[in-house]
Amino acid sequence: MNNATPNATDSGSFFRMSNIVKIFDTTLRDGEQAPGCSMNVEEKLKVALQLERLGVNIIEAGFPIASDGDFNSVKLIAKQIKDCEVAGLSRANLKDIDRAWEAIKCAANPRIHTFIATSDIHLKHKLKKTKDEVLEIIGQSVRHSAKYTSNVEFSCEDATRTDLDFLCKAINVAIESGATTINIPDTVGYTVPSEFREIIKNLKSNIELIDNVTISVHCHNDLGLAVANSLAAISEGARQVECTINGLGERAGNASLEEIVMSLKVRNDLNPYETEIDSKQIYPTSKLVSSVTGVFVQPNKAIVGANAFAHEAGIHQDGVLKQSLTYEIMDPSEVGIPSNHIVLGKHSGRHAFRDRLTEFGYELSEDNFEIAFIKFKELCDKKKYVFDEDIEALINEEFVRSGDFYKLESLECQSGTEKTPKAKIKILVDGEEKQAQASGDGPIDSVFKAISEAVQIFPVLDSYSVSSITGGMDAQGEVTVTIKDDDISARGKGSSTDVIIASARALINALNNLRWRKNHPKVNNPKGV
């Protein structure tokens, strides 16, 4: 048995008695299950290190049995992360559990998270097992997990649609078998706050050993109630919340970490509970996850959306200028959004630039810092004002994007009312320079055709969108594309003051992601909770 989990044995009593709510981040597991959000090993490690800076208590690093790629990423994260527990998910069978332990055993604080469905609909249609058979599986799987570590979490998948008496029996078996955390997932986002509150209350009343464990909740957002349900459960004694950055996850997503944390912080008068999150790292984390996954944060997203602290109405602007509390319930700096958006310019030096990168949560090597500083100076020469968003886009473009299979060297494009759009491109393909030229219906179409010709991949373009990163005539444009080839989809993002260059970068980023996904197929893709 591994005893390198100092908080595991006492976690139930400690967190039950305190007002501390543990934050269990599952962005790298459940968040990645959202369509188009697959991450490679390097990208997952970047996100994990940022989650560590954010101060989450547990990082669910992945599903080790799902594929060799998932196993390797979980193992790498387990080796690198020191200040958080690292959890590996497994179905309730011995093979899954063994694989999960193999991936996380090197962690400073490993956790096995095992699950099985308990609702009648899952037992009948998915598992095709009786309730007694499921109870036996729960006991066997938890006991097997406890042979490896005392830090064992058990989840009753689809708990909110499970018969309450059977739910109590399942949880009781799990606790008696050695589980130290019991998770109650609202797997399909079916429940409502009043109902969820009653479920937690009943569990606490009817399970004698429940006070010996930490009650966790894992809520999905199918009815838009994931955060509300999580807060309701906390009020009844749950002391761990499973959530994701930006609310990523299957279907409508998971409970949003930033919304839960700031709800507890802003409304501490009604919810006298605390987390150990460094809230100033929320926005940098949100931006990193958005960049890595290629999924936009909608402008009206609470806490981290572009409009979260924007005021257009004259009455609102007047009020905020006089006293920000008139229309802002929190200071944007509390979540890491700088109040001064024009922060740096062409006269800024290395020290100021480095400080800003540190504030954003980016840690670059000396060589990469020098490259970034040169790119920053180049941007200053193109733009009258350089915004924080510009700097983030620059760093993401150069250092966050996945894969270096294909790299843009140069691009020439001609277009006009009396000219046929043409593009000429140079791309490094696995380090070898390739050139191509093509004509198209417009400059972007010709660029995309030239890129495809250079790399000899001709994907279907599923979607194309462009948005302005900042305001003004000299704003950087950010392009997002989704492509498909051989029934595999990939998303890419690119940014530049020139939208044609941004489009080229987006397609090349998508092609890199596509190739990575083809090289790392999910040989087995179980899903859970």
DSSP labels, 70-129: HHHHHHHHHHH--SSEEEEEEESSHHHHHHHHHHHTTSSSEEEEEEEE-SHHHIIIII--
For residue 110, the domain's CATH number is 3.20.20.70
Q: Are residues 289 and 349 in the same domain?
A: no
> Position of tokens 């005893």?
3
Boundary (domain end) residue, out of 359, 374, 399: 399
Do 327 and 266 share a structural domain? no
Asked which of 399, 427, 445 is the last residue of a domain, the reply is 399
Give the pLDDT confidence of 314-364 residue by residue, as tens digits. Answer: 444 455 455 566 667 888 889 988 654 445 677 777 887 887 787 666 778
The DSSP line for 479-526 is: EEEEEEETTEEEEEEEEESSHHHHHHHHHHHHHHHHHHHHHS--SS--
Same domain, 361 and 418: no
Domain identity same for 336 and 430: no
Q: Does 529 reside within a domain?
A: no
Q: Is residue 8 part of a domain?
A: no
Question: Could you report the per-residue pLDDT of 38-73, keeping only the tens digit for each?
Answer: 788 888 999 999 999 999 999 999 999 999 989 999
178-237 pLDDT per residue, tens:
999 999 999 999 999 999 999 999 999 999 999 999 999 999 999 999 999 999 999 999
Contacts of 314 (CB under 8 A, 6+ apart): none
| Count of structural domains within the chain | 3
Q: What pLDDT is recorded for position 30? A: 94
Burial 215-248 (b: 16+ CB within 10 A, else e): bbbbbbbbeebbbbbbbbbbbbbbbbbbbbbbbb
Return d(Cα 241, Cα 231) in angstroms, integer: 9
What tokens were used for 157? 């998948």
Domain assignment of residue 185, yes or no: yes
The pair phi, psi for residue 274, each rounded to 5°, is -130, 155
Give the pLDDT confidence of 1-50 residue by residue, as tens digits: 444 443 444 444 444 457 999 999 999 999 988 877 878 888 899 999 99
Sign of the C-alpha dihedral computed for residues 45, 46, 47 and 50 taken in this order: positive
Integer Cα distance of 264 and 428 in angstroms: 49
Strands 22-25 and 58-62: parallel
* Selection from 57, 94, 345, 370 nearest residue 216 by Cα: 57
> Does residue 288 share a domain with residue 183?
yes
**105 within domain boundaries:** yes
Overall average pLDDT of the 273-279 stretch: 97
Residue 481 lies in a domain: yes
Q: Same domain, yes or no, for 370 and 420?
A: no
**Which structural domain, as residue segments, surrounds residue 449?**
401-519
**Residue at a domain's end among 399, 432, 463:** 399
Contact 66, 524 (CB under 8 A): yes
* The pLDDT of residue 497: 82
Which pLDDT tens digit goes with each residue over 61-120? 999 999 998 999 999 999 999 999 999 999 999 999 999 999 999 999 999 999 999 999
- 115 with 190, same domain? yes
Do residues 264 and 330 both lie within one domain?
no
Q: Are residues 112 and 172 in the same domain?
A: yes
